[in-house]
Structure 1
Amino acid sequence: MSKTNPGRFFEDYRIGQVIRHAVPRTVAEGERALYHALYPARHALYSSDDFAANCGLEGSPMDDLIAFHTVFGKTVPDISLNAIANLGYAEGRWLLPVWPGDTLRSESEVIGLKENSNGKSGVLYVRTRGINQVGEVVLEFVRWVMVRKRDAASPAPEAVVPDLARVVAPADLVIPEGLDFSDYDFDLAGEPHRWGDYAVGEIIDHVDGVTVEEAEHMLATRLWQNTAKVHFDVTAREDGRRLIYGGHVISMARALSFNGLANAQMIVALNGGAHANPCFAGDTVRAWSEVLDKAETAVPGVGALRLRLVAHKGGAGDHRLKNAEGKYAPEVLLDLDYWALIPV
């Protein structure tokens, strides 16, 4: 009997099933340093204990996307090892800061199943929670993936498609305890732009571009313990190319957004997202953002911006998103909708 794990297939899931993912991970300061080496990340709250303390926190927490990638990576062997594509996200919320020394584990609940018409695959919906060493949920999100069937002749389950919120309501945003931007240092943060300086509908071109390197994306994907074959094994795809992990593109685009959104310090919700087209080594990633909405919070000096972050491999200043048929332009890599906290 084989002791190796081939991963789960579509027919291995059932509604209500809860999967406790293996290998908890303790994150430390070295994780932050490596993250900032992989991406041009320089938001001040995640770079300086003194700056974070001036904003009312006990110190600098781990970058919000370090928490996301760590929690996401735990799920891959059970959820997406046999996936064809990661299709989308919804209802994501960061509930507690993750601090150096915290240990994170992940659990996923199956909330939807729908077989595709070809009978060879289906769409799996899961709600994943990241849990720290004392049992607190620090992060939650829904994602859906297209997963291969082991046997096309297997009977289709009853279709269940969850009704997911299009956007996390501002009232449901969780502001970290103690956070206070009333004495915010704009000089040290790098830009003077406040909540009131942004207008709904405004487009911000983040100007800079970064060319993705093969070694860097594989190092990053190993860092998150993401085991999906398509990121490492050139025989896993018919074109013989390693697919860049979508989270690598998310982090690259978020880091590039510093130029124009340096004060959008913390991601607190993920409303939706699509990995529109594949990214490969050699592609140069650029980014632009659109302000979709604004919201006040009850916390001193803290406002929220709802932002669309688009990563693309087009030329500088290229703001194309979809074509006349409503499909993503081939240059678009990522379309991400999120809430971030910014000083008022």
Structure 2
Amino acid sequence: MSKTNPGNFFEDFQVGQVIEHATPRTVTEGDRAAYGSLYPTRFAIPSSAEFAASVGLKVSALRGPVVVEEHPVEELIAFHIAFGKTVPDISLNAVANLGYAECRFHQPVVPGDTLSTTSEVIGLKQNSNGKSGVVYVRSTATNQRGEVAIDWARWVMVHKRDQTAEAPETVIPELDAVVDPKNLIVPKGLDFSSYDFTAAGEPHRLADYEVGEKIDHVDGVTLTESEHQQATRLWQNTAKVHFNAEARPDGRNLVYGGHIISLARALSFNGLANAQLVAAINAGAHTSPAFAGDTVYAWSEVLDRAELEPGKNGAPGIGALRLRLVATKGRDESMTLRGEDGKYAPGVLLDLDYWSLIPA
């Protein structure tokens, strides 16, 4: 009997199947440092323990017999770690990760937290070519206390092992297009009423952004083979297409889609420095593949604004800004998402719709 695991293929999945993913992962200060070396991120809360404390996010954590004060890491660090746990079981044999929905960040993650992830298969659809199919899963990451840190749905195209295997019944789950702002979770203790705009880097608050406004984040970063692979290894994402040139017909290593998300989010600081915390990801699509040598730029569109009601999901001085974050291969000064044919414009790599918490 083989002791190695080739990963699941499309025909191995069944709707209702629950998978407990291996190797829980403890978040460390090293993750924060590595993230900052990989992405040009400068958001104040994960960058400064003092700033985090000033807005109520200094978290007491028990380390053995000692209580220490920690401040949150970037939300996407926790997302990448939790996502990476799912790869060996869900997307080791993926063609590509296709999209996300209904992702909510339930509470800040701090160094010392250990994340474990489980997934439930919620949908299946074989592709017409019979060579692959789309697997829909809902994944949940919990910390060492059993508390939910993040949950999300995603769908991924996975190769079939046996192209003659019978196609399963098609089940496509109904997923909300947008997380209702009433259901956004504001971290316990968060208070922007004494927010330091100078330290944060920009003066703009919720009311300064208009629905329909587009923001060109200006800067670009050229992808390198070593950095995208280092990032993907950091999150223990083992998908073959990112590391093994023989896993794709074109012989190229595909850049992990999450690497593009983090890069675009970091670039968005220029113009959105006060969009401090990602509260939810409404939808996301990796619209084109990215490879080493591509230069990535980003722009954002304001989709909505929401006042959060204190006493329910609100807190002092906090609002929510719904943003579309678009990453492009090469800079698009016209900031065009789709052409007249309704298809994504050439060069669009990422279309991410998310809610961020911002001073009101």
Does the 8 Å CA contact 1:207/1:316 hold for their aligned counterparts? no
Q: 1:145 and 1:79 mapped to 2: Cα distance?
A: 8
2:112 partner amino acid: G
For the residue of structure 2 that corresponds to 1:41, the secondary structure is coil
1:132 equivalent in alignment to 2:143: yes
Does the 8 Å CA contact 1:253/1:286 hold for their aligned counterparts? yes
Q: 1:238 and 1:257 mapped to 2: Cα distance?
A: 34
Quote the offset at 1:324 in angstroms.
Answer: 2.2
- Structure 2 unaligned segments of length 5 or more: list them: 59-69
Quote the offset at 1:141 in angstroms.
Answer: 0.4
1:49 partner amino acid: A
Identify which of 144, 150, 153 aligns with 2:161.
Answer: 150
2:301 corresponds in structure 1 to 290
For the residue of structure 2 that corresponds to 1:208, the secondary structure is coil
1:302 corresponds in structure 2 to 318
Q: 1:40 and 1:127 mapped to 2: Cα distance?
A: 30
Identify which of 152, 155, 161 aligns with 2:172.
Answer: 161
For the residue of structure 1 that corresponds to 2:220, the secondary structure is strand
Residue correspondence of structure 1 range 16-35 to structure 2 within 5 A = 16-35=16-35
1:198 partner amino acid: Y
1:248 corresponds in structure 2 to 259
Identify which of 89, 102, 109 aligns with 1:98.
Answer: 109
TM-score, normalisation: structure 1:
0.98
Quote the offset at 1:318 in angstroms.
Answer: 4.1
2:64 corresponds in structure 1 to none
Q: 2:208 and 2:109 mapped to 1: Cα distance?
A: 30
1:340 partner amino acid: S
Quote the offset at 1:302 in angstroms.
Answer: 0.3
1:211 equivalent in alignment to 2:211: no
Does the 8 Å CA contact 2:184/2:280 hold for their aligned counterparts? yes
For the residue of structure 2 that corresponds to 1:342, the secondary structure is strand
1:221 corresponds in structure 2 to 232
Does the 8 Å CA contact 2:264/2:327 hold for their aligned counterparts? yes
Q: 1:153 and 1:14 mapped to 2: Cα distance?
A: 17
Identify which of 182, 187, 210 aligns with 2:193.
Answer: 182
Does the 8 Å CA contact 2:294/2:330 hold for their aligned counterparts? no
2:294 partner amino acid: D
Write out per-residue CA displacement over residues 100-142 of structure 1, whole angstroms, 9 at most, x where no aligned residue: 1000111000111122222222111100011111111100000
Please provide the CA RMSD for this pair.
Answer: 1.0
For the residue of structure 2 that corresponds to 1:45, the secondary structure is helix
- Give aligned pairs, total: 344
Residue correspondence of structure 1 range 87-126 to structure 2 within 5 A = 87-126=98-137
Does the 8 Å CA contact 1:130/1:140 hold for their aligned counterparts? yes
- Structure 1 unaligned segments of length 5 or more: list them: none
Percent identity over the alignment is 67
1:156 partner amino acid: A
For the residue of structure 2 that corresponds to 1:207, the secondary structure is coil
Runs of 4 or more, structure 1, over 4 Å off, are none
For the residue of structure 1 that corresponds to 2:33, the secondary structure is helix
1:339 partner amino acid: W
1:42 partner amino acid: R
Quote the offset at 1:315 in angstroms.
Answer: 2.6
Identify which of 335, 347, 360 aligns with 1:319.
Answer: 335
